[in-house]
Amino acid sequence: AFIFIQMYFIFLNNEQIKVYRYKIIARFGLMHMIGTNLAVWLNVLIQETKHEILTFYNPENRTLRISHRIPGHSRGHAVIPVHDPTAHLRVARGLKGPYQIFECRRTNIIGTLVQDASPFLFPCTIEYSLICAAILYVMWRSISRPQSTPQQRPDMISSPMKRSPHHYSVDCARAHKGLFVGILILVLTIISLIIFFVLISRPEFVSMAVTEVTICELLIYGTATIATLLGMIQIRHLQYDAYRSFSLDDILLVGAQTGSFLYNIFTVIAGHFTLRSDDMLVPINALASIVQTACQTMFILDASRRQAVSPEHIRKKPGR
């Protein structure tokens, strides 16, 4: 929740944030967020170091397994023995307890998932915390700096004609909620796929893995269909251009839609004649895919021919 809300806050407020009231509270809040990100960064570094130590340390024979090649050893992994028990008493005492807890965590499915994904998730969290801390520091410095209005000379006034042709800007106005809901759904989808690949590797959980990913896909189709219907309702207020010709993009869209229809129809037929009785979600999922892709194609074809003509439409941007 903290990561998602913080990303939403940074996305809405750029580095040139302007605060005219309660500047002390704003500075305190931004500095508190900077400290929180640095604390998260330091905590993840410690967790990553502990994960590496617990992975390579063996408390039974007090050895460290090194994954790089050492001169004099023909194999890729070398074992360094610890002979003096008194010299490494603190290491053995400090790692024996956590190592047993670490082994206990690896006995279930989620523990294995966390262990396998940790080397990939640690760098993401570290980079995210550092980037957010840097952005928040720029915002805090912008608030702390006194606002001044420099006088512009006539030759300093920028003209749209002088803009570089390589300068691009993305207007995300009135699209923040949909953007971040889409990011949240993307994250949940990635988590669902990770759980699926973990469960499918075990023979006793194959049926559960297929059911889990099918239900997740069905929920995504339902959410996308509802969002498409809401977009259709909102863009009805825009002006429709009935004289626009059928472009190449529309032809490619309809052609891809035809292929999707054929694939899902054959999936429904195969799911109907299946020998297993617990695969009823497969044809339902295919039917939901047909409905969702049909609604999405109609929405794209209709929205591509509409445009905002009134100042109210330009300000509200319906359908975004």
Q: Parallel, antiparallel, or unpaired for β 306-307 and 239-240?
A: antiparallel
Structural contact between residues 105 and 116, judged by C-beta atoms closer than 8 angstroms? no
- Give the count of beta carbons closer than 10 Å to the beta carbon of residue 27: 16
Q: Torsions phi, psi of 80, nearest 5?
A: -105, 110
| CA 218 to each of CA 70, 130, 264: distance values in angstroms, whole numbers, following the listed order | 52, 36, 13
Of residues 43 and 63, more confidence is placed in 43
**Domain assignments of the chain as residue spans, ordered by start:** 2-145, 176-316
Q: Are 216 and 267 in contact (CB under 8 A)?
A: no
Residue 146 DSSP class: P
The pLDDT of residue 48 is above 90: no
Residue 262 has a pLDDT of 93
State the residue for tokens 């891809």: 256
**Chain-centroid distance, C-alpha 146:** 37
Question: How high is the pLDDT of residue 77?
Answer: 47
Q: What is the mean pLDDT of residues 53-69?
A: 56
Q: What is the pLDDT of residue 72?
A: 45
pLDDT digits (tens, 9 = 90+) for 216-268: 999 999 999 999 999 889 888 888 887 877 778 888 888 899 999 999 999 88
Q: Quickly count: other Cβ atoms within 10 Å of residue 199's Cβ.
A: 20
Asked whether the beta carbons of 211 and 200 are under 8 A apart, the reply is no
CA 231-235-241 angle, to 5 degrees, is 135
Span 180-202, mean pLDDT? 85
Paired tokens of 118? 């940790």
In angstroms, the CA 5 to CA 33 distance is 12
Which H/E stretch holds residue 79? strand 78-81
Residue type, 307: Q
User: In the structure, what pLDDT confidence band is assigned to residue 304 with cuts at 50, 70 and 90?
Assistant: confident
- Convert the pLDDT of each residue in 93-147 to its tens digit: 344 444 444 444 455 666 666 776 777 778 888 888 999 998 888 888 877 565 5
pLDDT of residue 149 exceeding 70, the answer is: no
- What pLDDT is attached to residue 278? 60
What is the C-alpha separation between 1 and 33, in angstroms, rounded?
A: 14
Does pLDDT of 55 surpass 90? no
pLDDT in the model for residue 59: 53
Give the separation between CA 125 and CA 119, rounded to whole angstroms: 11
Q: What is the mean pLDDT of residues 183-188?
A: 88
* pLDDT the model gives residue 161: 46
Angle at 262 between CA 261 and CA 263, to 5 degrees: 95
Q: Which of 14-18, 36-40, 233-237, 307-311 has the lowest mean pLDDT?
A: 14-18
Residue 81 host element (H or E): strand 78-81
The three-state secondary structure class of 167 is coil
Neighbours of 260 (CB within 10 A): 17
Indicate the pTM of the whole model.
0.61
CA dist., res. 225 & res. 229, Å (int): 6
> What is the average pLDDT score of the chain?
75
Closest listed residue to residue 5, CA positions, set 224, 176, 227: 176
Residue 197 · residue 264 · CB < 8 Å = no
Q: What percent of the chain has pLDDT over 70?
A: 68
